Amino acid sequence: MLLMFADDVVLISDTITGLQNQLNILHKYSEYSSLEVNLDKTNIVVFRRGGRLARNEKWFLNGQPITTLSTYKYLGVVFSSTFKMRNCITDLALRGKRALMEVISNLNGIGIIDPSVYLKIFDAQIQPILLYGAEIWGMHRFYEIEKVHLIACKRFLNVSPQTPTAIVYGECGRYPLYINALCKTLKYWVKVIHMHEDRIPLKVYKMQVYYDNCGYKTYASYIREILFAHGFGYVWMSQTVGDAALFLSRFKTVAINIFLQSWNSTLNNSSRYHMYREFKSLLTPEKYLSCILDKKFRNILTKFRCGLLRLKYNEGRWLNVEVAERSCPLCNLGVEDEYHFIFTCTEYNALRLKYLPCIYQKQPNYYKFKSLLSTNNETTLRNLCKYIYHAYKSRTIKLQ
């Protein structure tokens, strides 16, 4: 009965003659059933490692030649003749970016929205496009997919495309999409190993396990490497997971923890993050993104936290100037970095008295600096934004 509703047919053969015989049978069946094959939508892909097609690699349907392509999109996935997923990923990234730009365009008229709402829209509308078919390619990391995710985060933060990835993840409290792709891959693997013995996917998987044991690289090989890399080697050895939901939850937790270790290592081992790591230690969305509704104030705080304001310390980093030569152009009392801008420069004393709480004005130190930049007190955050905005505006005017 289901064949009555089929609107497409896939023929697969490992020989030239075998495929032609299948096409001949298809033609006979079409005539018998009063159906017509649309040759404009009928194509052939010869899967091979490379090289040109042989002269005899030509196929016909009712005497008419069928076009041979190197790539073909089937069920939303672009298959390549060389078994590479690059064309598929490029197509997914392009569609995801197009959908993201449409979402951003629709949200522009609303103004500032809560980060949880914006990111929920991304996860519901864009992420399914980017991770479509990840069950078969999700064991690999593709920058094109993550790039769309980063564009979404950077557009929300209103920062430049060159803003370091670690800071973007930190401000938004996000982790890379490859973790979700890995989970989709393993979820499908769990589904396959629990199939009935007569199911073709399970038979194909067992064949791949056999070839993996013989030293060949297969889909099963990547599953094995993922499980061992995340501390689940025993699951591969037993080929069973017990409670599937619990296993997948534990795997995702481990994958996130591995990323968090890498993220913290990035912050601690690079001078680029010398100031950011002073006040950022947890990968959680920042409070100011949801409570500061004035765009100009929120943007200035974001750029300040990300090290994007044109302070002498940041400019020196961009131009590779020695740290000792990055002194404050207004007071010359030391290097003009974020700490100096908030607590030390004498040009902003009046603004400090007006906007900063008294506790931060008396005996300032790095502990108070960290406390101020990591506070969740909405009043303090609003006053901090106003201080940075007016102080930086004053600095710009004085240096003109």
pLDDT in tens, 286-324: 999 999 988 999 999 999 999 999 999 999 999 999 998
Please determine, for residue 1, whether its predicted confidence score (pLDDT) is greater than 70.
Answer: no
- Residue 299 has what pLDDT? 94
Using CA atoms, how far residue 144 sits from 24, 81, 94, 148, in Å, is 41, 21, 9, 7
Confidence at residue 3, expressed as pLDDT on a 0 to 100 scale: 57
Q: Does residue 82 surpass a pLDDT of 60?
A: yes
Q: Are 179 and 169 in contact (CB under 8 A)?
A: no
Which residue in 356, 312, 304, 358 sits closest to 331, CA to CA? Answer: 312
The whole-number average pLDDT for the span 375-387 is 94
**Smallest Cα–Cα separation from 16: which of 70, 71, 53, 67?**
53
pLDDT at 25 > cutoff 80: yes
Which own/partner contact pairs does 260-266 have at CB distance under 8 Å and 24+ positions apart? Answer: 260/175, 263/166, 263/169, 263/170, 266/166
Instruction: Give dist(CA 173, CA 162) in Å, integer.
Output: 18
Q: Measure the CA–CA gap between 320 and 312, rounded to whole angstroms.
A: 11
What's the pLDDT score for residue 326? 93
How many other CB atoms are found less than 10 A from the CB of residue 121?
18
Residues 6+ apart with CB under 8 A from 241: 190, 193, 235, 247
> What is the band of 53 on the pLDDT scale with cuts at 50, 70, 90?
confident
Confidence of residue 6 (pLDDT cuts 50, 70, 90): low
CA nearest neighbour of 166 among 264, 40, 27: 264
Tokens of 141: 């990391």
Confidence label for 112 from pLDDT (cuts 50, 70 and 90)? confident
Higher-pLDDT residue of 1 and 133 is 133
Instruction: Give the whole-number percent of the chain exceeding pLDDT 70.
Output: 98
Residue entry with tokens 């649309």 = 38
The pLDDT score that the predictor gives to residue 2 is: 57
Q: What is the DSSP letter of 343?
A: I
pLDDT of residue 269 exceeding 60, the answer is yes
> What average pLDDT does range 65-72 have in this prediction?
91
- What is the structure's pLDDT at 5? 61
- Averaged over 349-362, what is the pLDDT? 91
- The three-class DSSP label of residue 274 is coil
Report how far residue 14's alpha carbon sits from residue 16's, in angstroms, rounded to the nearest whole number. 7
Compute and round to an integer the Cα radius of gyration of the chain. Answer: 29
Tens digits of per-residue pLDDT, 141-153? Answer: 999 999 999 999 9
**pLDDT attached to residue 184:** 96
Determine the average pLDDT of the residues in 40-56. 88
Q: Hey, which residues does 327 pair with through a beta bridge?
A: 335
For the entire predicted model, the pTM comes to 0.89
Mean pLDDT, residues 360-386 taken together = 92
Q: How confident is the model at residue 35 (pLDDT cuts 50, 70, 90)?
A: confident
CA atoms within 13 A on the CB side of 172: 28
Q: What average pLDDT does the chain have?
A: 92
CB atoms within 10 A of CB 139: 19
Q: Average pLDDT for residues 270-297, to the nearest whole number?
A: 91
Residue showing tokens 């905005």: 389
Q: From residue 56, how far is each of 16, 40, 241, 368, 389 by CA, in Å?
A: 8, 22, 48, 77, 72
Residue 391: pLDDT band with limits 50, 70, 90: very high
CB 82 within 8 A of CB 64: no
| Residue 359 predicted with pLDDT over 70 | yes
The pairing of beta strand 64-65 with beta strand 60-61: antiparallel
Query: Which residue in this structure is represented by tokens 């591995």?
Result: 258
Three-state secondary structure call for residue 61: strand
Pairing of strands 71-74, 77-80: antiparallel
Domain ranges in the chain are: 2-69, 86-181, 189-265, 291-399
Whether 183 has a pLDDT exceeding 70, the answer reads yes
**Location of structure tokens 């920062």:** 159
For residue 74, the surrounding DSSP H or E stretch is strand 71-74
